[in-house]
Amino acid sequence: MNAGTIEIYRPRDVSILGDWNIGGLKIKAYGLAADGKRVDDAMVTLARSFVRQDVIPRVAAEGDSNGLGFVIIHPGSLGISISAHWWIQGSVLCQHNYRKLYSASEPMDAARRPVIACVWELALINAEQEAWRKTMMKDKPIHMPIWKSVPRLGPLKSQGVTRARFVSVAFENGIRPV
């Protein structure tokens, strides 16, 4: 093991980027930023394009979609990650990733590189799993607004969404609301 490559853990900021409806998939969009980084308009445009061009065809090919998902735009320490997720069969989460090092001219080959997510992205994924299980996997799913505030965290800043509210509850795992 190369201990020199292990990053020192520090909480990261999360922001709400709004609700997207792309190709019939309703998506909650999150920003997740390493220290000194921020999600900018070009990253949001890239993420929307990635979902439209790369993810929607996968959703259609996989089939049995529940029509709901989320995306994480993560300018990290070494590069940008865009992690798109969608629910199928009522309980299965699918994922497709875009990753590009800041120093690279081309994105990494997601099919050949077995990356799932970093620890900060995993916290968001877990929060979404908990929200899905608690609200959708019931006799009568709870159709609440996509965002619902988490009182112990206080209000989250919303980029481009009026009074957005947050559904997820597992942010003690290293994500700071901004």
pLDDT digits (tens, 9 = 90+) for 31-62: 999 999 999 999 999 999 999 999 999 999 99
Please tell me the predicted confidence (pLDDT) of residue 112: 84
Residue 89 in this model has a pLDDT that exceeds 70:
yes
Angle of CA points 24, 170, 14, to nearest 5°: 65
What the block records as the tokens of 103 is: 């120093």
- What is the number of other CB atoms lying within 10 angstroms of the CB of residue 5? 6
Please give the Cα distance from 123 to 117 (Å, whole number): 10
What phi-psi label fits residue 169: left (phi over 0), alpha (psi between -120 and 50 degrees) or beta? alpha
Which residue type sits at 67? Answer: G
Please tell me the predicted confidence (pLDDT) of residue 176: 46
Condensed to tens digits (0 to 9), the pLDDT of residues 107-130 reads 998 888 888 999 999 999 999 999
Please tell me the predicted confidence (pLDDT) of residue 139: 85
Residue 102 in this model has a pLDDT that exceeds 80:
yes
- What is the number of other CB atoms lying within 10 angstroms of the CB of residue 69? 25
Secondary structure (H, E, C), the chain: CCHHHCCCCCCEEEEEEEEEEECCEEEEEEEEECCCCCCCHHHHHHHHHHHHHHHHHHHHHHCCEEEEEEEEEEECCCEEEEEEEEEECCCEEEEEEEEEECCCCCCCCCCCCCCCCCHHHHHHHHHHHHHHHHHCCCCCCCCCCCCCCCHHHCCCCECCCCCCCCCCCCHHHCEEEC
